[in-house]
Amino acid sequence: KPGNLNQLSNKIVTASNSAACGIELTIGKEYLIGGSIDENGALRGNLCGLVQEWSTVSTADRKALESYKC
């Protein structure tokens, strides 16, 4: 989370289908999603970036993410 934001949105803006690199997620599963935050504070993600089920993220990567600073 960038330092100028108090809280991240719980919504992600993405294209409407996978043909346009839109992300399709399964309700009840957790994901690690790489993306960006636009000038209005909206989270943006796409299939061409990082989309990984959280259960498959390695312990080393999880630890690295915990200490990451924007």
Higher pLDDT, residue 32 or 6: 32
pLDDT at 31: 93
Entry pTM: 0.72
Count how many Cα atoms sit within 13 Å of the Cα of residue 60 in the half-sphere of its side chain.
0
What are the chain's domains? 12-66 (2.40.50.120)
Strand partners, 43: 12, 37
pLDDT tens-digit series, residues 7-51: 777 888 898 888 888 888 899 999 999 888 888 888 888 888 889
pLDDT at 52: 94
Among positive and negative, which fits the CA dihedral 26, 48, 64, 56? positive
